[in-house]
Structure 1
């Protein structure tokens, strides 16, 4: 397929993925109230535990509307994840043989649970993150958290975890599609481990090393599992080429 055709196909997949997110955002708009209550709950729990003022502050006239739109699209991104992950697969799909497509379907089926699992892991850690970060508020002071700032923090927190857990599925898809050889991933394993621990250190606000390890080790394990699958695939492919040459 020529470069122009690849770019046209990429644009088509991006448009389809965007439409899916837009449909998901409509669902997010409908379910905004219970989702916002869930987002606000960690802050309310901290305020109750410490018997102090900790709350979300809507500073501007249109902030509440803007918040609802952003939360709707955030929900849409999560809800539509099976659709836009499929679009990523569909873009790679034409370059695969029938046998490779059958293999990738299995890994594609793992991509959505991995992304949602990472997002759920972040959601489970969010109350603890809020509790630790608000502990720096001096005694007698109030903590009025800007709604936009809080939402941006939650979105980055959840999406970062989701994408980190999704990375192994993307690695496998790129390797089976012949886009990146497994040896390339293997050469970068030290950087992958370093980035995993750096990511864990940044995204876990608690100062203890246990919390960092609980995030970094699963990400590293998923990376090496994906690397092993890629190396196995490349070895079989090379063996098949030698048989054909003979």
Structure 2
């Protein structure tokens, strides 16, 4: 296609992706108060971490949040609905991105990209689920520092922003093994480097977890760090298996001398001395009666 056709296709794909996101946001906005199952409305699902706090740490009565501006309820409902709708319609708008990129890839690259998108989606959802179960423990630790002296009043916007950020951070952090495996597949990050830098990676993951978690509570920090370390170790083992298979495959096609020590003698034949000239063929003997003297 020409450049103009590519731009038209990009506009078409972006329009469809935005349309799917809008449909998902509308569904999420309706789901906010629609109980699909018992206690299955989006608002109750998102309020569950807050409602699981001890009764002494919450305002007396029903589990509700504080609204401080007239439009705060509408904006919060729209924000949470958009987030939930984006997750539910992710296969549709992600396909539009894929449909725009796929024509420029080889068949092998398309197969690898499909696997990458599939595992990325699964890992993101797994990270979001872990965050959802970590948030109540983190909130309990945070509000427990004051003992029975304080009663926790959360603003609706602050609370839902906190929960959404936690879900997003955990979901994105769970993509770490895919990034490592992709770099290993392309040869940028071989297993030997991962093995040599393992301690530094683990330390960096704990530092990242301490900075990235918005709650600054030790429970969510440790949960995110431990989960990322486990995923990192799984990615390291996958890289080790891949490099072993690649080395065997290369060894089957040609001999590999990359592991030789600098002082070892290479088995290659490096003798460049000129070959001895082969002896000249002997002159044929004259047959009897064919010489000049015999003739004369």
- Cα 1:99–1:85 shift into 2, 3 Å: same
Q: For each residue in 1:41-75, what CA deviation from the matched residue of structure 2 results, as whole angstroms up to 9, or x when unmatched?
A: 22222142x36428521111111111111111011
Q: Which residue of 2 aligns with 1:102?
A: 111
Q: Which residue of 2 aligns with 1:207?
A: 218
Instruction: Note the 1:34-113 alignment, pairs <5 A.
Output: 34-48=41-55, 50=56, 52-53=58-59, 55-113=64-122
Distance 1:30 1:195 in 2: 42
Distance 1:184 1:5 in 2: 37
Distance 1:201 1:8 in 2: 44
Distance 1:13 1:162 in 2: 25
Structure with greater proportional helix content: 1
Q: For each residue in 1:117-174, what CA deviation from the matched residue of structure 2 results, as whole angstroms up to 9, or x when unmatched?
A: 1111111212112211222345333221111111111111001111222344466678
Higher mean displacement: 151-160 or 50-59: 50-59
CA contact (8 A) 1:165 1:222 kept: no
- Asked if 1:128 corresponds to 2:137, the answer is yes
Q: Which residue of 2 aligns with 1:183?
A: 188
Instruction: Note the 1:186-197 alignment, pairs <5 A.
Output: 193-197=202-206
Distance 1:22 1:53 in 2: 36
RMSD value, Cα: 3.9
Q: For each residue in 1:197-236, what CA deviation from the matched residue of structure 2 results, as whole angstroms up to 9, or x when unmatched?
A: 2332342754268535432313423553675688689x69
Instruction: Provide the TM-score with structure 1 as the length reference.
Output: 0.73
Question: Which is bigger in relative contact order (C-alpha 8 A, separation at least 6)?
Answer: 1
Distance 1:161 1:185 in 2: 26
Any unmatched runs of 5+ in structure 2?
34-40, 255-296
- Cα 1:20–1:173 shift into 2, 3 Å: farther
| Alignment length (residue pairs) | 234
CA contact (8 A) 1:121 1:161 kept: yes
Q: Which residue of 1 aligns with 2:153?
A: 144
Higher mean displacement: 66-75 or 96-105: 96-105
Instruction: Provide the TM-score with structure 2 as the length reference.
Output: 0.62
Any unmatched runs of 5+ in structure 1?
none
* The structure with more radius of gyration: 2
Q: Secondary structure at the match of 2:149?
A: coil
Distance 1:125 1:87 in 2: 33
Q: For each residue in 1:68-93, what CA deviation from the matched residue of structure 2 results, as whole angstroms up to 9, or x when unmatched?
A: 11111011122123234444544543
Q: Displacement, 1:35? A: 1.4
Distance 1:224 1:82 in 2: 29
Distance 2:96 2:160 in 1: 27
